[in-house]
Structure 1
Amino acid sequence: MDTNTLTTTQVQERVDAYISQFKEGYFSPLALMARLTEEVGELAREVNHYYGEKPKKASEKPKSMEEELGDVIFVLTCFANSLGIDLSEAFSISMNKIETRDKNRWTKK
Structure 2
Amino acid sequence: MEIKDLQKEVDNWISQFEEGYWHPLSMLARLTEEVGELAREINHLYGQKPKKPEEPPGDLPGELADILFIIVCYANSLNIDLEEAFSNMMEKYRKRDSERWTQKTKL
Answer whether TM exceeds 0.5 for this pair: yes
Measured after TM superposition, the shift of residue 101 of structure 1 is: 0.7
Q: Structure 2 length as normaliser, TM-score?
A: 0.93
The corresponding residue for 1:76 is 71
Unaligned runs of 5+ in 2: none
The one-letter amino acid paired with 1:28 is: H
* Residues paired across the two proteins, number: 104
Q: Cα RMSD over matched residues?
A: 0.9
Once the 2 structures are TM-superposed, how far is the Cα of residue 108 of structure 1 from its aligned partner?
0.5
How far the C-alpha of 1:93 sits from its partner, in A, is 1.2
Amino-acid identity (%): 57
C-alpha distance in structure 1 between counterparts of 2:18 and 2:78, whole Å? 18
Partner Cα distance (1:79, 1:60) in 2: 32
Of the three residues 75, 84, 88, the one matched with 1:89 is 84
Q: CA deviation at 1:105?
A: 0.3
Q: Which ranges of structure 1 fall in alignment gaps of 5 or more residues?
A: 1-5
Shift of residue 64 of structure 1? 1.4
Q: Post-superposition shift, 1:63?
A: 2.2
Structure-2 residue corresponding to 1:3? none
> Aligned runs of 1:1-109 on 2, under 5 Å?
6-109=1-104
Alpha-carbon distance in structure 2 between the residues aligned to 1:30 and 1:46: 25
**1:16-48 CA distance string (max 9 Å, x none):** 010001000000000001101111111111111
- Point out the structure with max Rg over C-alpha: 2
In structure 1, C-alpha distance between the alignment counterparts of 2:81 and 2:36, rounded to whole Å: 25
